[in-house]
Amino acid sequence: MPSVYRKKSGDLPAPCRNARNLLMGLAVVTSLLLLAMGADLLRQPLPGQAAAEQWMHTFSLSGPALWTAGSPTRHPETIHPGIDLRLTVGMESLP
């Protein structure tokens, strides 16, 4: 005889409903995350990237702007072979 707590034959017993909800919740959240990452990965080319490369080419810049202007990492061509960098304070405005 079926339980009175089960309205339909396809219903899960009460102790399993939380488990089903947990599984469905995890499946939905992880699927959404995977879909979002997949959609982002398929987005090519990134608009900002192409524009950054174009400006890099236009001005023939030597390095990315991740480091401060005037530093040797940013402008390696400014490292003078004959001048100690410790003595160049104030000379950074020279070409």
Partner 1 sequence: MISGKSGYPMLLWAAREVLRLPGRNLLLLACLASLTFLVATALLLSQALDRTWSRLMDQAPDLVVRRIDAGGWAPIPVATALASASTVPGALSPTPRLWGVVPGPRGPVTVAASTAAIPEDALRGLTPPLRGQAVVGAGMAGFIQDDRLILDGRMQLTVIGTFPPETGLATHDLVWMAPADARSLLGIPSGHASDLAVTLFHPEEAEAIRADLAAAFPWPVNITGLRADSWRHHVRAVRMGGMAVVACVPAVLAMVLIVLGTAAGTGSRQSQWGLLKALGWTTGDIVRLQVIQAAVVGLPAIIFGLALAYAAVFHPPAAGIAAMWITGGRHLPELVLDHSGAAAIMLEITALVILPYLMAVYLSTIKGVARDPLHLLQESPWK
Contact call for residue 61 and partner 1 (CB under 8 A): yes
CA–CA gap between residue 36 and residue 14 (Å, rounded):
34
Cβ of residue 40: shortest distance to partner 1, in angstroms? 7
Give the torsion through C-alpha atoms of 33, 35, 41, 45, to 10 deg: -120
Contact call for residue 69 and partner 1 (CB under 8 A): yes
Contact call for residue 95 and partner 1 (CB under 8 A): yes
As a three-state string, the secondary structure of 38-63 is HHHHCCCCCHHHHHHHHHHHHCCCCC
Among 60, 84, 85, 89, binds partner 1 (CB under 8 A): 60
Buried b (16+ CB within 10 A) or exposed e, 76-94: eebeeeeeeeeeeeeeeee
Q: Which of residues 7-36 bind partner 1 (CB under 8 A)?
A: 12, 15-16, 18-20, 22-23, 26, 29-30, 33-34, 36
Interaction site with partner 1 (CB under 8 A): 12, 15-16, 18-20, 22-23, 26, 29-30, 33-34, 36-37, 40-41, 44, 46-49, 51-70, 74-83, 91-95
